[in-house]
């Protein structure tokens, strides 16, 4: 019985293919490719002559029999147009069905826009949440962002360059104008560039200049100490309550809730003002 190899391919720079990926693609009896025409450019470049069959979003279920028939006697390599199969690309169903059918599945490490954008963003890498492509419709996008708002993990999302400005506008609105964001454009390609700043800064930048090429968005997680109110606003709200006779502890608790500050920080501000 053969093995199903999951083989990442470059997301732009052909040098990012690994030696192991080249060997597996050469030695497999069959390559299942998302778009055979696109993938032939890659295999031709590396002088790989393995037969290819298409495996894409619209035929992925009907292709299982053909791929499993090949797997009975030989190895099959699964590739997508670019990057890691299964990551916002076809692959998951085949992998799950192959495991279910008792076949060996071997994933290769390699190029992926998610991790490349994340490590270049300068935002926290200890814990992150990949959310795939963000919804296209404004109402659904707003809802999705609201559901992500309080998460502490860094968020990584794929987005179309045409929707980037509108998406950044909603990020500033729903997650806050000060939320740190990084737009990673054209990773590993000639015009690779990282745009880092607050949601407001990047919104303003891209409102005037839609980027060309592919983009991945990295958004900082919620910071519990993030002030959605300024110190002046907090002080004013606190003073109002104290003037009305409220105890500092209770006033700090209530103001903290509205301000998005920790109770302790508001309390400290109250003490300093005493
Ligand atoms: N499976 C791929 C991977 O492992 O990265 C992702 C495939 S998904 C269909 C394509 C999306 O990935 C693009 O729309 C873009 O958001 C992101 N992407 C792919 N290549 C990129 C690159 N070179 N620079 C920035 N983003 C990229």
Given a cut of 70, is residue 52 above it in pLDDT?
yes
80 in ligand 1 pocket by Cβ < 6 Å? yes
Residue 69 Cα to ligand 1 middle (Å): 31
pLDDT per residue as tens digits for the range 9-30:
999 999 999 999 999 999 999 9
Which of 12-16, 55-59, 147-151 comes out lowest in average pLDDT?
A: 55-59
Question: Quick one: 139 and 99 in the same domain?
Answer: no
Question: Quick one: 196 and 255 in the same domain?
Answer: no
206-213 long-range contacts (CB < 8 A, ≥24 apart) are 206/164, 206/165, 206/168, 207/165, 207/169, 210/161, 210/162, 210/164, 210/165, 211/161, 211/164, 211/183, 211/185, 212/161, 212/186, 213/161, 213/185, 213/186, 213/189
Which of 53, 79, 107 is the last residue in one of the domains? 107
Indicate whether 38 belongs to any domain: yes
Residue 191 Cα to ligand 1 middle (Å): 15
CATH number at residue 145: 3.30.950.10
pTM summary value: 0.84
How far is residue 134's CA from residue 216's CA, in Å, rounded to a whole number? 11
Indicate whether 224 belongs to any domain: no
Given a cut of 80, is residue 228 above it in pLDDT?
no
50 in ligand 1 pocket by Cβ < 6 Å? no
Predicted local confidence at residue 259, as pLDDT: 74
Q: Which residues of 104-139 are buried (b: 16+ CB within 10 A; e: fewer)?
A: eeebeebbbbbbbbbebbebbeeebebbeebbeeee
Question: Quick one: 148 and 215 in the same domain?
Answer: yes
Q: How many structural domains does the chain have?
A: 3
Predicted local confidence at residue 240, as pLDDT: 85
For ligand 1, atom 20: residue with the closest CA: 11
Indicate whether 226 belongs to any domain: no
What is the pLDDT confidence band of residue 233, given thresholds at 50, 70 and 90?
A: confident
Average pLDDT, the chain: 93
Strand runs (DSSP E) across the chain, as ranges? 3-6, 30-33, 52-54, 76-79, 104-107, 128-133, 154-159, 180-185, 193-198, 215-219
Indicate whether 98 belongs to any domain: yes
Indicate whether 158 belongs to any domain: yes
Work out whether strand 180-185 and strand 215-219 pair parallel, antiparallel, or are unpaired. Answer: antiparallel
CATH number at residue 43: 3.40.1010.10
For ligand 1, atom 2: residue with the closest CA: 83
Question: Quick one: 15 and 99 in the same domain?
Answer: yes
**Average of pLDDT values for 60-77?**
93
**Average of pLDDT values for 220-245?**
81
Predicted local confidence at residue 226, as pLDDT: 61
165 in ligand 1 pocket by Cβ < 6 Å? no
Residue of 82, 110, 190 best suited for mutating to test ligand 1, as the one with most atoms within 8 Å of CB? 82
What is the extent of the structural domain holding 259? 231-273
**Average of pLDDT values for 76-101?**
96
88 in ligand 1 pocket by Cβ < 6 Å? yes
Residue of 39, 108, 113, 162 best suited for mutating to test ligand 1, as the one with most atoms within 8 Å of CB? 113
How far is residue 264's CA from residue 198's CA, in Å, rounded to a whole number? 26
Please count the other Cβ atoms lying within 10 Å of the Cβ belonging to residue 57. Answer: 9
Given a cut of 70, is residue 273 above it in pLDDT?
no
Given a cut of 60, is residue 264 above it in pLDDT?
yes
Given a cut of 70, is residue 253 above it in pLDDT?
yes
Percent of the chain's residues with pLDDT above 70: 97
């Amino acid at each position: 019985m053969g093995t199903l190899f999951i083989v990442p391919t470059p997301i732009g720079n052909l040098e990012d293919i690994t030696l192991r990926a080249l060997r597996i693609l050469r030695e497999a009896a069959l390559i299942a490719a998302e778009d055979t025409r696109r993938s032939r450019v890659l295999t031709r470049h590396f002088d790989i002559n393995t037969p290819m069959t298409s495996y894409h979003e619209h035929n992925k279920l009907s292709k299982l029999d053909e791929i499993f028939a090949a797997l009975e006697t030989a190895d099959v390599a699964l590739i997508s147009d670019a990057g890691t199969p299964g990551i916002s690309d076809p692959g998951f169903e085949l992998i799950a069905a192959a495991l279910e059918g008792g076949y060996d599945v071997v994933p290769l490490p390699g190029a992926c826009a998610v991790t490349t954008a994340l490590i270049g963003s300068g935002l926290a890498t200890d814990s992150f949440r990949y959310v795939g492509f963000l919804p296209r419709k404004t109402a659904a996008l707003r809802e999705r962002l609201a559901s992500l708002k309080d998460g502490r993990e860094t968020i990584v999302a794929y987005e179309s360059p045409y929707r980037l400005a509108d998406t950044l506008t909603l990020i500033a609105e729903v997650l806050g104008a000060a939320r740190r964001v990084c737009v990673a454009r054209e990773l590993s390609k000639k015009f690779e560039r990282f745009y880092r700043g607050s949601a407001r800064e990047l919104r303003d930048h891209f409102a005037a200049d839609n980027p060309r090429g592919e983009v991945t968005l990295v958004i900082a997680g919620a910071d519990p100490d993030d002030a959605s109110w300024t110190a002046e606003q907090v002080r004013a709200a606190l003073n109002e309550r104290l003037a009305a006779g409220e105890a500092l502890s209770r006033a700090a608790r209530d103001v903290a809730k509205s301000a998005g500050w920790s109770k302790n920080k508001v309390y400290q501000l109250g003490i300093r003002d005493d």
